[in-house]
Structure 1
Amino acid sequence: MTQNMNQLLKQIPLFSKLEDRDLSILSTITTKRLYHKKEIVFMEGEEREAVYFIAKGVIKTSKSDFNGKEHIINFLQAGEMFPHVGFFEETPYPATAEALEETELYIIRIQDFDQLMLDHPNIAVQVMKIMGQKLSLLTERIRELSTKDVRHRVIATLIRLGEESGTNGIDQPVSITIPLTNTNLANMVGSTRESINRVLNELKKNDLLTVSRSSIEIVSLSALKSSLYRK
């Protein structure tokens, strides 16, 4: 069982370079749990108890405003960790995490993870890089929300999702693999379903997207990028 867990943990990018001895130690502080579709992993504001790593599935992280409206922060997939903030601090979970499909998570208590980073500075460095990347992403999204129109925000979001979760190359069809609804997309870009529908219909009419109930396919990432500043 330990050897099997070692191999599973080694598939997580953050742990991929650990030696077997260190992986064996890691496996002793790691638990595995399956979350069903729409099951909540934790709620925004709850006491932070653990760090989570996605073995398979998709996690949606979101925050609610004073009116109870959901604002989606990100979609996370296999190999990613969350939450990305608050290490070495006694702060609550900064957002709500929900499984969008059957999702398998590896869970490490926050005290054990803090000690792991102290014992393995290379892991701490990688965590800092991940946090820096997420901060840059959030900064760019805030800039887009405050300065760009809905069309630009939708296209920029589709490009990012295509690059993060899509398959195939930049000049080939790219399937966005997360279960993305128009409501989710609206909550990501700060708009309404009606506005999202108009933008998606325009992109479909211009042969930049094909959309079904279960997926969005970008016909060409390069062509979609070229359309970003074209009305």
Structure 2
Amino acid sequence: MDRIINTVNAYISLSEQEKKYLQDAITKKVFHKNEIIFSEGKVSNEIYFVNQGCVRLFYNVDGKDKTAFFYTTGQYICAGESFTFNIPATENYQAINQTEIFVLTKPKIEKLLQQVPKMEIIARIATENELITCQKLIACFITKSPEERYLDLLNTQGELFQQVPQQYIASYLGVSPETLSRIKKRILDKSRS
């Protein structure tokens, strides 16, 4: 619980009683490697916090799954449109490795907001962070080549290369696994020159 409390404390100070309310609102779940956490077609009524591990966000497109994002330790996850508007989700979340997640359900969030109104700030910050991440991702695909996107990922989230299968990284970068191998080889050759 310390990680999520520290994340909240980075934005607002919680009293011991408020920390207890937060702890009471949270359920811990452990997902095994490749286990689906949430799947498309369902209506989301949960927000997740990755306490440990890695989660892949993907979409089914014409029978193939396309990786859109990776969430790692300390990040919040929410199928935002589904959660907000109570409609079926189009996204899927999968544990890449054994992953420990804290779950906050809508009813528990509503109760927590009554008990600790300043938690609303956390909801706003989580939403803002998700929006900024999405804007950066869109800008990256519009303004950068696959090789530049690969280098950005390597520099900002290099640990993913130890945790995530290559085909998921290739999908995330918008290239085939073969193209990703060629990009890696070109970069390695440049570094040796």
The partner residue of 2:87 within 91, 103, 124 is: 91
SS at match of 1:138: helix
Report the equivalent of 1:192: 176
Give the TM-score of the pair, scaled to structure 1.
Answer: 0.71
The partner residue of 2:140 within 141, 144, 152 is: 144
Q: Deviations over 1:20-43 (max 9, x none)?
A: 211222222221121111111110
User: In the alignment, is the contact (CA less than 8 A) between 1:9 and 1:23 conserved in 2?
Assistant: no
Report the equivalent of 1:158: 154
What is the CA distance between 1:8 and its match in structure 2?
6.1
Q: Deviations over 1:125-175 (max 9, x none)?
A: 23322322222222232233244332222223323324xxxxxxxxxxxx5
Measured in 1, the distance between the counterparts of 2:117 and 2:88 equals 25
Q: CA RMSD in A?
A: 2.5
Report the equivalent of 1:181: 165
How many residue pairs get aligned? The number is 189
More contact order relative to length (CA 8 Å, sep ≥ 6) = 2
Q: Which runs of 5+ in 1 are unaligned?
A: 163-174, 209-231
Q: Does 1:71 align with 2:66?
A: yes
Give the TM-score of the pair, scaled to structure 2.
Answer: 0.83
Report the equivalent of 1:19: 15
Q: Percent of aligned positions with the same letter in both sequences?
A: 20
User: In the alignment, is the contact (CA less than 8 A) between 2:33 and 2:99 conserved in 1?
Assistant: yes
Higher helix share: 2
User: In the alignment, is the contact (CA less than 8 A) between 2:44 and 2:79 conserved in 1?
Assistant: no
Report the equivalent of 1:216: none
Measured in 1, the distance between the counterparts of 2:126 and 2:8 equals 10
Structure 1 stretches of 4+ moved >6 Å: none
Q: Which runs of 5+ in 2 are unaligned?
A: none
What is the CA distance between 1:88 and its match in structure 2?
4.6
Report the equivalent of 1:36: 32
User: In the alignment, is the contact (CA less than 8 A) between 1:71 and 1:188 conserved in 2?
Assistant: yes
Q: Deviations over 1:202-227 (max 9, x none)?
A: 1112238xxxxxxxxxxxxxxxxxxx
Measured in 2, the distance between the counterparts of 1:15 and 1:93 equals 31
Measured in 1, the distance between the counterparts of 2:89 and 2:116 equals 24
| Structure 2 residue identity aligned to 1:69 | K
SS at match of 1:44: coil
